[in-house]
Structure 1
Amino acid sequence: MKPTQVRLGGGGSTPGKHGVFLGGWGNFGGMKQKGIISYGVAPNRQYPLAGAFHDAIFNTWRRFSSQVLYWAPATVAGYYIMNWAIERNEYLNSKAGRAEFAEEE
C-alpha cells in the first residue's frame, strides 16, 4: 500500500526518515523538485538602463522618419492657410481695407 501525501507531509513522525518530510503545508523542507529551472543574475552584472539612451535616439528617429510624410504636408498647408487668413483679416479691418471694400457690405 502506498502512503498518502498527508503522511509524507510529516505530522507526528520525526523528520529524517525515508519518506518523511518536514511541514504539512508550503512544502517546508519538502522533496526536491524536478524539472524546475531558475536563473539569476548577479547584482554587479545588472545594468537596467544599458543602451536605453542610444536606443531611444535611434528608435525616435526611425519612428519620426516613417511618419513625417503623413503629418508634415498638412501642417505646412495649415500654417500657410492660417497665416493668409490672419493677414487678410488684418487688412480688411484696417483703414485701407475698409475704404476699398466699404461699398460691398
Structure 2
Amino acid sequence: MRPSPILRAGGGDAPLGKFNKYLGGWGNLGGLPQKGILTYGVSPNRQNPFAGAAHDAVFNTWRRFSAQVFYWAPAAVAGYYIMNWAIERNHYLNSKQGRLEFGGEEEE
C-alpha cells in the first residue's frame, strides 16, 4: 500500500517500498527541512586578497616570458645587429676614409 500525501508530508516515518522509509521529495531527502540553522562563511578573497600575489606575479611572469621569448628574441637580435651594421657603415661612408675610398659611387 502506498502512503497518502498527508503521510508523506509528515516526514520520514511513512513506510514505503523495500526499506519501509520515505526519503522525501527533491531538496528534502531524509525528512522535513531544517529551519533556523544559519551558516556563515568568509570568501578566501575577503580573508587575504593579496595572499601570494608577489610570488605568483614573479613566477607567472617568468612562465609567460619563457613561453614567448623564442618568438620575438631572434627577430630582435637580428634587428639589433642589422641596425648596428647600418650605423657603422653610415659613419664610415661619411668619414674622411670612406669619402676617399668611394668618392661619389654610392649616391643612389
Partner of 1:101: 102
Residue deviations 1:1-53 (CA, integer Å, cap 9, x gap): xxxxxxxxxxxxxxxxxxxxxxxxxxxxxxxxxxxx985418xx711100101
Runs (5+) with no aligned partner, structure 2: 1-37
State how far apart, in whole Å, the 1-side matches of 2:64 and 2:39 are.
37
| 2:42 match | 41
**TM-score of the aligned structures, taking structure 2 as reference length:** 0.56
1:80 aligned partner: 81
Aligned partner of 1:26 in structure 2 is: none
- Whichever residue aligns with residue 54 of structure 1, its letter is H
Structure 1: runs of 5+ lacking an equivalent: 1-36
The alignment's C-alpha RMSD in Å is 2.5
Structure-2 residue corresponding to 1:64: 65
Give runs of ≥4 in structure 1 deviating > 3 Å.
37-40
- Please report the TM-score for the alignment, with normalisation by the length of structure 1: 0.58
Q: Deviations over 1:49-99 (max 9, x none)?
A: 001011111100100000000000000000000000000000000000000
Pick which of 78-87 and 95-104 moved more.
95-104
Q: Does 1:51 align with 2:49?
A: no
